[in-house]
Amino acid sequence: MSFASHVLPVVWLIAGVLALSFVIRPSPRLPVFATRGRSLMVLGALGVVALVVGLLTPKAPSPSPRPAAPPPAPTSPLVADRAAVQARPQAYLTLESVTAFRKADGAVLLTGAVVNTTAFSIRDTRLSCRMAKGAAAAGTVGATVADAIPPGGRLIFAAVNLGKAAAPWDRQTCEIAEAKAD
């Protein structure tokens, strides 16, 4: 907004208050405000001029709406570098919700899921768990799940027998030891 657009309303307000005061108490020294009728006409003229100026003043341009951003190109979160996947396929697999149970004969049963984050099928996943009781190691157990994991898919396994731990255990740390990429 310009300086004039700030000052003009203030000047009109002051002129309107003065004209109203001369309507209440006319001033014979000023010919325009000598009678109440003339003072009312000046007050009315100020109101009409303010209305006309307000209607004729161009409105501030509204900001143009931004064009809608194009949707992002679909990108696949899957790794597509075949050489990298074939070199270390286990690095592109993640374990989820892994739980180990102790069978009556002392064997370790593992339940959970393996997620494939590549664009290639991976099979023969070897699961390995380090068993421990407190700070003491209780041995390492492992088994291979022969099923193939589809690209971007998951393999849910239940009660995979990893073998017997060397000692009693109360916690485990599991990982994917190796796998083969197709």
Point out the domain boundary residue: 56, 72, 95. Answer: 56
138 in any annotated domain: yes
Residues 16 and 94 grouped into a single domain: no
The predicted pLDDT at position 130 comes to 93
The predicted pLDDT at position 32 comes to 85
Residues 49 and 116 grouped into a single domain: no
The predicted pLDDT at position 1 comes to 59
**Residue 68 or residue 1, greater confidence:** 68
Domain region containing 165 = 82-181
Predicted confidence (pLDDT) at residue 142 exceeds the cutoff of 90: yes
- pLDDT band (50, 70, 90) for residue 73: low
The candidate with the shortest Cα–Cα distance to 161, out of 174, 146, 145, 178, is 145
Q: What percent of the chain has pLDDT over 90?
A: 37
132 in any annotated domain: yes
Residues 86 and 164 grouped into a single domain: yes
Domain count, the chain: 2
Could you give the CA distance from residue 47 to residue 37 in angstroms, rounded to a whole number? 15
Q: What percent of the chain has pLDDT over 70?
A: 96
CB 96, CB 155: distance < 8 Å: no
Could you give the CA distance from residue 132 to residue 162 in angstroms, rounded to a whole number? 15
158 in any annotated domain: yes
25 in any annotated domain: yes
66 in any annotated domain: no
What pTM was estimated for this model as a whole? 0.55
Predicted confidence (pLDDT) at residue 76 exceeds the cutoff of 70: no
CA neighbours within 13 Å on the CB side: how many for 53?
A: 11
Could you give the CA distance from residue 136 to residue 168 in angstroms, rounded to a whole number? 10
147 in any annotated domain: yes
Determine the 3-state secondary structure of 26 from DSSP. Answer: coil
Residues 17 and 87 grouped into a single domain: no
77 in any annotated domain: no
Q: Which amino acid is residue 55, in one-letter code?
A: L
Which residues, in sequence order, are CB contacts of 164 under 8 Å at separation 6+?
Answer: 105, 106, 107, 108, 141
